[in-house]
Structure formats: C-alpha cells, structure tokens
Amino acid sequence: MHPISYFQAIVLGLLQGAAELFPISSLGHSVVLPRLLGWNIHQNDDYFLTFLVATHLATAIVLAGFFWRDWVRIARGVGRSLRDREIAPGDSDARLGWLLVVGTIPAGLLGLTLEHALRKVFASPQSAAAFLVLNGLMLFAAEALRRRAPGTDALLAGAQADIRLSNRLRWRDAIGVGTAQALALLPGFSRSGATMGGGLLAGLSNEDAARFAFLLATPIIGAAALLKLPDLAGHQGDGVRGPALVGALCAAVTAWLAVRFLMRFFETNRLTPFAVYCVIAGITLSIIFALT
C-alpha cells in the first residue's frame, strides 16, 4: 500500500508545479486540498514531506533549465569578480550574481531555523486559508505601494533584463526581497508572491520582479530539496518513491508551463488577479472549514 496513491501524486504534483510559481502559495494549497477532497494526508506527515522533496526538486530543475543562459552569464560574472576581487563597473552579470547571493542568505538562514517550528504550528487547513487571505492582501498592497524612479524606465527601455535588475536593485533591496521569501514558510503565503511584491516595492517592473523572483527561488528551492533528498532514498521513502517520481514529473510539466506563461503575463499585467483569487479562495475555504 502506498501512503500516497498514484492518482493523488498526479493531482498534487500538477498543483505544486503551478502553485509554486504562481503567487498563490503551493504549500497552502497542498495543505487545504487533501482536506477538501477527504484524503488522509497531513502536511506534517513524514511521507508527505518526503514526497514534496521530489516535486520541489523537479521545480528547481525546471527553473534552472528555463533560465540556463542567464545562469551561465551570471556564473561567469561572479567568476570574474572573484578573479579580479571586485565587481567591475558595468559588469551587470557579476552584480546580479552577488545580488542573488545576498538575497539567498536571509531566506536560507530563516528557513533552516524556523521551518520545522512554523510548519508544526501552522500546518492546518484553517491556518492556510487565513494566510491565503493575507497573501492576497499582501499582493494588493505591493501593487498599491509600488514605487518607480522617475525617468529610469525610459533610460533602460532597450537594455537587457539583467542590466535593468543590476541597475535598479540596491544591496539592501536584495536583502529585503530575499527576507520576504521567508513568508513562504507559513502555509498560505506565496514565495513568488512575496518576492515579486518586494521587487515592486524596490522599483522593479512586474516583468523584472517576476524574473528576479524566479532566479532567486531556484537556489533556495533546489538547496532545500537536495538537503532532504536523503530522506527519499532512506527508509522514509519506502512506499513513496514511485508516487514521488510521478508527482515530480507532473510538477515539472506544470512548472515549465507556468514559468513560460508568467514571464509573458507580467510583460503587460499585474499581481492583482492573483490577489483577488487568494482573498476569495481564502475566505471561501475559511467558511467551508468552519462549517465542516
């Protein structure tokens, strides 16, 4: 008997791959969906956490593959800065690389120290539904409070995305955006949503905020999955490896479709539709859980 059936693995994998990149919280949806469908799956079950390792690793691999040309340039830029012991003026790839490093540190530290405690306390469908509402309000606030530097967009209109990012973001902005990722430790808050919101507050366009969010998420999601990968290979993976593989493949498909869609969507659109969805879904789920 598999603690997670193959059908459940397909549904959860498809959901995780899309919801991880859409600013609607994959963890929150993974908490509320089993309750809605009457599945005997709980977010803190060891086998479920092991299953999520595979789906998160698949998502990280998809992100790395989608932006592989960017990562090659960034890696070369960081290499140049290490060789020269400085970030050369105009080396946007090197500066972007170190901005990503700076942004990754706070989220990594907070994840290592707080993840277990926060999931244990808040891993309930009721909490996830409430945090979904707060996630929607956060997205609304980010769009309402977004700030732009006058004239900068016109100056950089023809530049590559990495040049726009490296010119617009300051070091403290990278720290703030990276720290915002820690909100995703609470089921119902979206990693990509918090990061995009932080990017908007730092003065990025929706398109560049999304790109920076996906670049910043890749090492965090990948490192977290690799850190727990031994659990999948060990005894905690017994009975889960088959469904985890199927779930990972499904997550990879929807993650690829999601990142392609979102990078085009944010060329002309905002976070507002996702904010509306999160508020409505969170309120509706809260009512359902209160009545059942």
Can you give the residue ranges of every domain in the chain?
6-291
Instruction: Tell which residue, 153, 201, 160, has the closest CA to residue 177.
Output: 201
Q: What is the CA radius of gyration of the chain?
A: 19
pLDDT category at 151 given cuts 50, 70, 90 is very low
Predicted structure pTM score: 0.88
Instruction: Tell which residue, 182, 28, 42, 21, has the closest CA to residue 112.
Output: 182
Return mean pLDDT, the chain.
87
Percentage above 70 pLDDT, the chain: 92
Q: Are 179 and 236 in contact (CB under 8 A)?
A: no
Supply 142's token pair. Answer: 């980010």
What confidence score (pLDDT) does residue 158 get? 39
Query: 214-230, pLDDT tens digit by residue?
Result: 999 999 888 888 887 88
pLDDT over threshold 70, residue 57: yes
What confidence score (pLDDT) does residue 23 get? 95
**CA distance linking residue 223 with residue 56, whole number of Å:** 10
pLDDT over threshold 90, residue 288: yes
pLDDT over threshold 90, residue 86: yes
What confidence score (pLDDT) does residue 147 get? 63
Query: Mean of the pLDDT values across residues 132-153?
Result: 78
Please, which residues have CB within 8 angstroms of residue 112's CB and are 6 or more apart in sequence?
Answer: none
Place of tokens 């086998």: 47
Supply 247's token pair. Answer: 């779930």
Helical (H) or strand (E) element with 277: helix 272-291
Query: 156-169, pLDDT tens digit by residue?
Result: 443 477 788 888 89
